[in-house]
Structure 1
Amino acid sequence: MNGRTIASLALLAGIFVMEGFDIAAMSLAVPRLEGAMGLDPASFGWVFTALLIGLGAGGALIAPLGDRFGRRTLIVTGALATGLCTLGTSTAASVTEFLVWRLLTGAALGACLPNVSALSAELAPPRLRATIMAVVSAGIPVGLAIAGILAPEIVGLLTWKGLFYVPGIFAVVLAAGLLVMLEGGLPRGAEPKAAGELAAKLPQLALLKSPWLFPFAVFAAMLAFNACNLYLLNSWLPTVLPQAGLTLDDAARVSGVANLAGLGIGIAASLLIDNWRKGPTLMLMFGAMAASFIAIWVTAPDPGFWTLMLMVGVGGANAGGMVLPGLAAYLFPARMLSSAVGVGVLVARLGAFAGPPLGQFMLQNQVPAQSFLGVAAIPALACVVIALMVPAALKRRVIEEDKEKEKADTVFA
């Protein structure tokens, strides 16, 4: 890779850093809005969900235009729109206004992020494609951690509005940098297809047929359950922890540290995915997550112990977002990888939609902090059960590739 490619990948990773900070911004702002504006934190469940709806809509309806107009156009435009909408969020004065701005922010991010993932794979050397994808997407836990750690200082200088100024301005700067660094043109290998070739136009349909339906179901189900945990925890953790005796500033810092731990867990698990057994690696990661939340559930609030457990639990949820796309590289052949990851992320949004309203329901019913966090063990345990099926899912690819090889040998015989 040359210097321009490395710089481009660094800027693309910056988009994920910005997304992580942006996700955290709303959750960090919510407990402060009650004092500043008299808004009840429990009324923000659909505000968190609005971002996810926007992400799903932008990903499904706008992001595919990158195949027609080029990834650079969608990435730059999406980053700029994200920055402007995030800055717009700082002007909101009611729950409804927050909801509208977060919906628009999500749509802009949804248009941008799938093209960022696709372009990072295209820029990477083939032998490092999965690794590069994981490293670029690692920007999300980095952004979440930065937001949590710096939130007290940002709020002290700029009030709660600063939590949106920072990612908004960063997104605009990234858009300018990407405009300069990225090359234009259509995606590599993009060519007009014959009018009747539905499979060529919609390659994702192959995921819904044998032999790929079972591997895709395993992959997408883990993504969905993990996304439920990811958005449940990152939406409400800064609101829930003060109920256990932490100050708002301490809760923000604990959230940041827990998310930063996801970077280390994700890299370690990715190395195991590449060099060890895939199923046991995922069972170990998700099993440790479940155990950490159960430990919180059965213990009295203890800042030190809870922080350690949240580093395993919340960090593990963030790591799942890094590790699972890498698993897809082993479940599916290269010709199907983009479709598998793209459709899998769309399915994951369905799981993510459940997280914020679930947290809102528990808050409205005054569920104690221990039980609130203990509930996160359930999706983690579901992922452990699904991970038991990974070896069988991997075997499907081996069987299919053997069939294709036999067919090719017969043709050339």
Structure 2
Amino acid sequence: MKTTMNVNTVVDQGKFKSFHVNIILWCLFIVLFDGYDLAINGVVLPLLMQEWGMSAVQAGMLASTALAGMMFGAMGFGMLADRIGRKKVILICVSLFSFFTFLGGFSSNPTEFAVLRFIAGLGIGGVLPNLVALTSEYAPQRLRSTLVTTMFSGYAVGGIMAALCGKWFTADFGWQIMFFIAGIPLLFIPLFWKFLPESLTFLVKANKQDQARYFLKKVDPDAQVSPDTQLVLSSNDQTQSASVKALFTENRAIGTFLFWIAFFMCLLMLYALGSWLPKLMMAAGYSLGSSLMFLMALNIGAVIGTISGGVLADRFNFKSVLIGMLIVGVLSLVGLGFNSPQPVIYLLVSLAGASSIGCSILLYSFVAQYYPVAVRSTGIGWASAIGRTGAIVGPILIGYLLGLELPHKWNFIAVAIPGVIGAIAIFFIRKAQTDEEVAALENVNKATVKTQRSYS
């Protein structure tokens, strides 16, 4: 006799196992190089401006080419993964961004550099939503935010690695060495193929029951899964379309738009800092070497903010944690505009990293929990893609401000303003109610009114 088992329920109620550690570590490794790729801009832009004779505005536009690619990659690969599986898309994206970032080290002019960075950006933007979705999909519900943000802390670790490599190697080997290092993930493609699991949702929807049973037993070895067990998804996930239209159904339209605003503002702030912090600190009177150490402080703060933010989000209200982090970030950035002792500056930079990068990463976890599993990659992908437009604007905006040679405090205030707007957008996000929930609530209200009338 065939029995059915809801995989969402098993995963949600599961215990943390070595299988989860495997997923977290491999995804963290991939994210590490994504963070490294972001921080490359902050390291090499001052050197490229000098070598190719570019203005700050031109350098900002050059930094934004990869970010433009990330926007299209997030949109396209997010939807593709909901159709062909997350694992295949992750491998495609890693191959793209590793290979074309590596080729960027051979660029001889800004045009070649821009084209290669755009193609690399397709992979970078496409891999992030799928890593978040895959980790979130296998994580027990009580630890979901903690595990997603722990995995994503590799983003900031990659930034630390970029700052250290820039300080140690660029003087002897030139800016090119930074791009050659980015090709390392290509060597690990066979290991990703072997050790990364496929999406359970995809396997069940594609009716690949044997593979789905295998991974479900990995999640919960005690689950009573036999060869005759029919695995199913929660009803909403089983029938939900993976199209963009699904992001605006089931009363999710307002939430979707607010997430897009929040992503736009947070990524504008993040990429403005990630691309220009060394140059901003040089404008404030620090040397390039000292400025690279500020970039490292930014990412050390990001590691702490990302992990602690995930833990807090699992214990307290998600929105309150995000808004609180953004307020700390805004105050820190405003504080950087004033002359302070160097230890205070390092502290403020670390707090700015903890809030800006930590909040941006935590937003991925928030949006992953907002959408049903079946449209999760699409939802994360489009929110990330809209956010990438902010990421494109950020480096160009700061490049323009640097070109105006305003007092350096105005540069930091400009970076802080998007944090205020992002906090407001997050404040108004409400949990989406399905059509069934709305109808049930209306029936309850009608029954209440009817009862009150009968008493009156």
Q: TM-score range by the shorter chain?
A: 0.7 to 0.9
- Residue 332 of structure 1: CA displacement? 4.3
1:260 equivalent in structure 2: 300
Contact 1:227 1:351 (C-alpha < 8 Å) held by counterparts: yes
Of 96, 99, 114, which aligns to 2:111? 96
Q: Who is 1:378 aligned against?
A: 417
Paired residues of 1:245 and 1:301 also in contact (CA < 8 A):
no
Instruction: Confirm whether residue 18 of structure 1 aligns to residue 33 of structure 2.
Output: yes
Q: State the secondary structure of the residue aligned to 1:229.
A: helix
Any conservation in 2 of the 1:207–1:213 contact (CA below 8 Å)?
Answer: yes
Change (3 A) 1:332 1:225: same
TM-score (norm: length of structure 1): 0.86
CA 1:52 to 1:397, structure 2 compared with 1: closer, same or farther past 3 Å?
same
Which residue in 2 is equivalent to 1:388? 427
Deviations 1:338-380 (A, max 9, x none): 4432322122122222111111211222233222112112111
Q: Partner residue of 1:87? A: 102
Partner of 1:168: 183
In 1, the alpha carbon distance for the partners of 2:163 and 2:276 equals 13
Instruction: Give ranges in structure 1 of 5+ residues lacking alignment.
Output: 193-198, 408-413
- 1:118-143 Cα deviation digits (max 9, x unpaired): 32233334543333222222211121
- 2:347 pairs with 1:344: no
Q: 1:324 to 1:68 in 2, by over 3 A?
A: closer
Give CA deviations for 1:244-278 in whole Å, capped at 9, x if unaligned: 12111110111111122012122222233222233
Describe the superposition over 1:309-341 as per-residue Cα deviations: whole angstroms up to 9, x where unpaired.
121123311001222123235544555544432
Residue in 2 that maps onto 1:410: none
Residue by residue over 1:269-315, the C-alpha shift from the partner in whole angstroms, topping out at 9 and shown as x without a partner, is 22332222334323321111111122223x23653322221211233
Corresponding position: 1:227 with 2:267: yes
Aligned to 2:354: 315
SS of residue in 2 equivalent to 1:30: helix
The count of residues paired between Structure 1 and Structure 2 equals 397
Shift of 1:227: 0.7
Decide which moves more: 378-387 or 180-189.
Answer: 180-189
The 1:69/1:206 distance shift into structure 2, 3 A limit, reads: closer
Residue 251, structure 1, aligned to residue 317, structure 2: no
CA contact (8 A) 2:103 2:180 kept: no
| CA–CA distance in structure 1, aligned partners of residues 272 and 409 of structure 2 | 14
Q: Would you say 1:61 and 2:76 are equivalent positions?
A: yes
Give the TM-score normalised by the residue count of structure 2.
0.78
Of residues 239, 242, 245, the one that matches 2:279 is: 239
* Amino acid across the alignment from 1:54: G
Contact 1:259–1:314 (8 Å) recurs in 2: yes
Is the contact between residue 262 and residue 311 of structure 1 (CA under 8 Å) also seen in structure 2? yes
SS of the residue 2:107 aligns to: coil
CA 1:349/1:404 → structure 2, altered by over 3 Å: closer, same or farther?
farther
Aligned-partner Cα distance in 2 for 1:182–1:267: 22
Query: Partner amino acid for 2:176?
Result: K
C-alpha displacement at 1:190, in angstroms? Answer: 2.9
Deviation at 1:106, TM superposition (A): 0.3
Kept in 2: contact 1:24–1:235 (CA 8 A): yes
In structure 2, what is the Cα distance between the partners aligned to 1:185 and 1:314? Answer: 32
Aligned partners of 1:130 and 1:329 also within 8 Å? no
Q: Percent identity?
A: 22
Cα distance, 1:4 vs structure 2:
5.4
CA distance in 1: counterparts of 2:316 and 2:203, whole angstroms? 32
Does residue 120 of structure 1 match 2:135?
yes
Q: Say whether the 8 Å CA contact 2:78–2:382 is kept in structure 1.
A: no
Find the counterpart in structure 1 of residue 193 from structure 2.
179
Unaligned runs of 5+ in 2: 1-15, 208-238, 444-456
- For residue 204 of structure 2, give the secondary structure of its aligned residue in structure 1: coil
Give, in whole Å, the separation in 2 of the partners of 1:338 and 1:69. 12
In 2, Cα distance between the equivalents of 1:120 and 1:373?
A: 34
* 1:44-77 C-alpha deviation (Å, 9 max, x unpaired): 1222211111112122234533344433322223
Q: Distance in 2 between matches of 1:74 and 1:388?
A: 33
Q: Distance in 1 between matches of 2:317 and 2:417?
A: 24
Task: Return the letter of the residue paired with 1:29.
Answer: V
* CA distance in structure 2 between the aligned counterparts of 1:314 and 1:92, rounded to whole angstroms: 30
- 1:123–1:327 distance in 2 versus 1, CA, 3 Å: closer
Which residue number corresponds to residue 312 of structure 2?
272
Q: CA offsets per residue over residues 225-246 of structure 1, 9 Å max, x none?
A: 1011011111111112112121
Q: Relative to structure 1, is the Cα distance of residues 302 and 93 closer, same or farther in structure 2, using a 3 angstrom cutoff?
A: farther
Query: Greater RCO between the two (CA within 8 Å, min separation 6)?
Result: 2
- Give the secondary structure class of the aligned counterpart of 1:189: helix
**Residues 225 and 382 of structure 1 are in contact (CA less than 8 Å); yes or no, is this contact kept in structure 2?**
yes
Q: Which residue of 2 aligns with 1:196?
A: none
